[in-house]
């Protein structure tokens, strides 16, 4: 089976700092793939390179067999990769519904059918009841779900999630986990997530890539990765293995 996303030897340098150092991995269609690592490991940089915010200095990225490295963020979205932002970026003055509607308009040019699509997505993300509120009025957990809803409304084949669990309480994390695994199961949506919350990673991911100082230090199933000596040393700490 060919990978949906194939990242080959990606490197990115910011002046003296080698933020991402020759990282390669492949994401299989319909799978959930997690990238973990301590703060400053290069996770968000890697994510931003895939989403088109930065072009890599070296290496290539193929999506569905097509080279996409160096493409602009809007071109990448149009090809079928949706993304969220670690620091949420809603359209604050617009209603929750209009936020999602704008995402849906990528595939449904007609406002009425885009609105129908937005309603479906809002219902799935449990935001339908709040659809008339301005996005600026939402609480952080709701904003995190709005990020996912808006990206999902573009009907992506691959959804990139940048720390959507960060700042959520355990109950809210579980809610997000169940929403994401439903999307994955029912629609075969491929998900690439960057995550600090190990509870969510263990529950969702089929494969995990661990970054440290910009380089991949381990890759495998979640169970295997948390037992990896290098990972424990660099990131999780000895107590996490219990």
Partner 1 sequence: MMARLLDGVAGRGLALLAGLLAVLLVVPWVANDYVLTVLIIVFYSAYTGQAWNVMMGFAGQLSLGHAIYVGLGAYAAAALYVHFGVAPWLGLAAAIAIAAACGAVIGFLAFRFGVGGVYFAILTIAFAEFARIGFDHFRWVGASSGFFLPVANYTRNDLWNLRGDPTMFYYVMLALTVVAFALCHVLLKSRVGYYWQAIREDEVAARSLGIDTFRYKMYAIVLSAGMTAVAGVFFAFYYNNLFPEQVFHISRSIELILGPIIGGIGTLFGPLVGALLLTGLSEAMQELLTALGLDVPGAKQVFYGLCLLVVVMALPGGVWPWLAGKLGVTGPRS
Fill in the per-residue mask, 154 to 173: x = in contact with partner 1 (CB under 8 A), - = not in contact: x-------------------
Instruction: Tell me the C-alpha distance between 234 and 79, whole Å.
Output: 36
In whole angstroms, what is the distance from residue 136 CA to residue 118 CA? 18
Nearest to 76 by CA among 56, 89, 88, 62: 62
CA-CA distance, 39 to 47, in Å (whole number)? 14
Q: In what order do the strands lie in the sheet with 17-27?
A: 17-27, 5-14, 58-63, 66-67
Tokens 């700490």 — which residue? 237
Decide if residue 105 touches partner 1 (CB under 8 A).
yes
Nearer to partner 1 by Cβ, of 100 and 179: the residue is 100
Minimum distance between the CB of residue 62 and partner 1, rounded to whole angstroms? 19
> Which of 109, 223, 229, 238 is in the footprint of partner 1 by CB under 8 A?
109
71 binds partner 1 (CB under 8 A): no
Task: Tokens 């194939």: give the residue.
Answer: 6
Output 82 or 141, the one with its CB closest to partner 1: 82
Going by the DSSP 8-state scheme, the letter that residue 32 receives in this structure is: E
Beta carbons of 40 and 212 less than 8 angstroms apart? no
Of the pair 91, 128, the CB lying nearest partner 1 is at 91
Stretch that binds partner 1, among 20-28, 55-63, 149-157, 175-183 (CB under 8 A): 149-157
Task: Say whether residue 122 binds partner 1 (CB under 8 A).
Answer: no
Q: Which stretches of the chain bind partner 1, using CB under 8 A? A: 51, 72-74, 77-78, 82-83, 85, 89-94, 98, 101-103, 105-106, 109, 111, 114, 150-151, 154
């Amino acid at each position: 089976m060919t990978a949906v996303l194939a990242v080959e030897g990606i490197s990115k340098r910011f002046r003296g700092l080698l933020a991402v150092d020759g990282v390669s991995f492949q994401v299989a269609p319909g799978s959930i793939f997690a990238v973990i690592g301590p703060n400053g490991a290069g996770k968000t940089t890697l994510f931003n390179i895939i989403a088109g915010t930065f072009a890599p200095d070296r290496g290539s990225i193929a999506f569905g067999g097509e080279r996409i490295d160096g493409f602009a963020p809007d071109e990448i979205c149009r090809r079928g990769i949706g993304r969220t932002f670690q620091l949420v970026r809603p359209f604050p003055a617009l209603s929750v519904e209009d936020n999602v509607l704008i995402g849906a308009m990528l595939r449904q040019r007609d406002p009425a059918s885009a609105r129908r699509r937005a309603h479906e997505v809002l219902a799935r993300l449990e935001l339908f009841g709040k659809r008339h509120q301005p996005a600026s009025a939402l609480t952080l957990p709701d904003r995190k779900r709005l990020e996912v809803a808006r990206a999902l409304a573009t009907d992506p084949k691959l959804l990139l999630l940048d720390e959507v669990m960060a700042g959520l309480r355990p109950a809210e994390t579980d809610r997000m986990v169940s929403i994401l695994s439903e999307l994955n199961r029912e629609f075969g949506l491929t998900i690439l997530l960057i995550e600090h919350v190990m509870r969510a990673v263990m529950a969702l991911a089929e494969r995990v890539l661990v970054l440290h100082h910009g380089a991949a230090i381990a890759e495998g199933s979640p169970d295997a990765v948390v037992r990896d000596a290098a990972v424990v040393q660099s990131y999780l700490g000895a107590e996490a293995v219990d």
